[in-house]
Structure 1
């Protein structure tokens, strides 16, 4: 009899579904930016899809995400309920700031989204094609000014890669870093710079309104609905995507990492996440596990090489 009662108790215990994990997601940037948007979209979908019962988002801005990363790594050893978003900009910031805490100090989970870069000029510019812009760059690199995001970030890297592909010394580029997309856009629209570079989504509405001229994109293939050549089509061997990722705390067990990865993958495959991507103009670049780790290692090595070329890393 006792054995039957014990067996029944064990069976009922096994039948109880595991409790959904509660998560706190660190957005290592100010509210409103790409990382913050990513964290809050994750928050919404994880809760709506009942993957998590409670998700909080905390903003820890500064130094291209490296301040938030250092705080996250030191406070969440072995904590399976903490996540942090990051991406390509963080890779560059770690290298340019010579940050003591790197992505090796956390547990990368998955790449989530990506966006290709766009090169634009104001509609009033005499430059009408990417070939004309490159010709000016070759003639006098310093005379061509570029507006983009933070120094060492994906925009800066994009200009460095373009210069190198065009046979121009990347250390000679005249790159002007702006702290926000709005400031950079104002500089481009006001013809204070020769050209601008940022994520395609940042410029889309102005291109459609006719106030900016789109010269080229950094995708490997033409983008459907975008009337501009790729840099590769223009004879420049440049391909660049600003991707975003999510990582967990350090020192997790294999079981903890697997559980988090399963939750993130379920979120990324959900219909609501796919709708959010479409609404925000983000590409689905989901990649997890060993494949993501290998890709991340490759990106870090390539980024370090470009930043050395530009002169931002010794």
Structure 2
């Protein structure tokens, strides 16, 4: 590995950052509604948090006061694992998955890799000779390449990945020849795609992105469905009654036309999943993330205790 950049968000602190005060009940045009203080754990989730709060207000909920709801996501979950911290289900109450950003695998326009098959064959045969770039080590871009390498049957510990603090630096690294391929949010690479500087080999989502002439990883033979997701969580010691009310609010908001419009405008995938189903999903996501970080050599093998999803390596 070329370098490691670890960032800790402190999931437990973030989940109660807005305070865990008692719920307030207010009357609005929609009737009797609970109040919620909706905040983002970090800047990266600010826009999602604002859109979620806006859709909640449209649904008649008071926002800015009441039960604390924190918008967090995959990056924080991975950071906790990297820093041997408690994972999200241990430090907060999972409520609902909200939205996800599609990631893309890109190469320079004049790359020798004309399609994903060519790139995948090289990565599988020579992972240490296929320099890759993206965001900081251990964060979603790196996780995606780890999942791709695993799906291809490559030696994941040999993956040559350099993490950059910003997407702009990753773009420069790819276009200057420091990397053969890069991964990142579609939104961060859109300008380079539109100007023809890079081409997209594959998208990480299960379905194709309409405006891109690029296959999904699933279509390319890699069993990976991946988004850089954001979710709503409550305080760690949330009562069952408060949790049930908050889950109902999340269901109403993420099923609303206002939320759908906000996701379309921002280019997010609306991927709602709430309550017990979300709790089970987040548990599997913890295990998936932990397994990939272990395979990449970023955490000790003893960190993972159970296998995830379609793991075929006998872990």
* TM-score using structure 2 length: 0.79
The corresponding residue for 1:158 is 144
CA contact (8 A) 1:110 1:246 kept: yes
SS in 1 for 2:289: helix
Is 1:123 aligned with 2:136? no
CA contact (8 A) 1:46 1:55 kept: no
Is 1:140 aligned with 2:126? yes
Q: Which of residues 37, 44, 47 is equivalent to 1:37?
A: 47
Deviations 1:47-70 (A, max 9, x none): 344311x428xxxxxxxxxxxxxx
**How far 1:115 sits from its partner (Å)?**
2.7
The size of the alignment, in residue pairs, is: 270
**How far 1:216 sits from its partner (Å)?**
1.0
**How far 1:19 sits from its partner (Å)?**
5.2
SS in 2 for 1:18: strand
Provide the C-alpha distance between the structure 2 equivalents of 1:141 and 1:290, rounded to a whole number of angstroms. Answer: 39
Return 281-290 or 153-162, whichever deviates more.
153-162
Return 254-263 or 133-142, whichever deviates more.
133-142
Provide the C-alpha distance between the structure 2 equivalents of 1:178 and 1:105, rounded to a whole number of angstroms. Answer: 29
Is 1:172 aligned with 2:158? yes
**How far 1:263 sits from its partner (Å)?**
2.2
CA contact (8 A) 2:36 2:61 kept: no
The corresponding residue for 2:32 is 18
Gaps of 5+ in 1: 1-16, 57-79
**How far 1:20 sits from its partner (Å)?**
4.0
- The structure 1 segments of at least 4 consecutive aligned residues displaced by more than 6 Å after TM superposition are none
SS in 1 for 2:154: coil
User: Structure 1 residues 263 and 221, CA, compared in 2 at 3 Å: closer, same or farther?
Assistant: closer
User: Structure 1 residues 221 and 47, CA, compared in 2 at 3 Å: closer, same or farther?
Assistant: closer
Matching of residues 236-251 of structure 1 within 5 Å = 236-251=222-237
Provide the C-alpha distance between the structure 1 equivalents of 2:239 and 2:32, rounded to a whole number of angstroms. Answer: 18
CA contact (8 A) 1:118 1:200 kept: yes
SS in 1 for 2:70: strand
The corresponding residue for 1:55 is 64
Provide the C-alpha distance between the structure 1 equivalents of 2:206 and 2:36, rounded to a whole number of angstroms. Answer: 39
**How far 1:92 sits from its partner (Å)?**
1.4
Matching of residues 1-314 of structure 1 within 5 Å = 18=32, 20-25=34-39, 27-30=40-43, 33=44, 35-52=45-62, 54-55=63-64, 81-100=67-86, 102-314=88-300
SS in 2 for 1:227: coil
Provide the C-alpha distance between the structure 1 equivalents of 2:205 and 2:231, rounded to a whole number of angstroms. Answer: 19
CA contact (8 A) 1:51 1:267 kept: no
**How far 1:119 sits from its partner (Å)?**
0.3
RMSD: 2.0
SS in 1 for 2:182: strand
User: Structure 1 residues 221 and 268, CA, compared in 2 at 3 Å: closer, same or farther?
Assistant: closer
SS in 1 for 2:165: coil
CA contact (8 A) 1:218 1:230 kept: yes
Provide the C-alpha distance between the structure 2 equivalents of 1:214 and 1:174, rounded to a whole number of angstroms. Answer: 20
Return 127-136 or 303-312, whichever deviates more.
127-136
Gaps of 5+ in 2: 1-30, 301-315
**How far 1:99 sits from its partner (Å)?**
1.0
Provide the C-alpha distance between the structure 2 equivalents of 1:124 and 1:28, rounded to a whole number of angstroms. Answer: 40
SS in 1 for 2:228: strand
Structure with the largest fraction of helix: 1
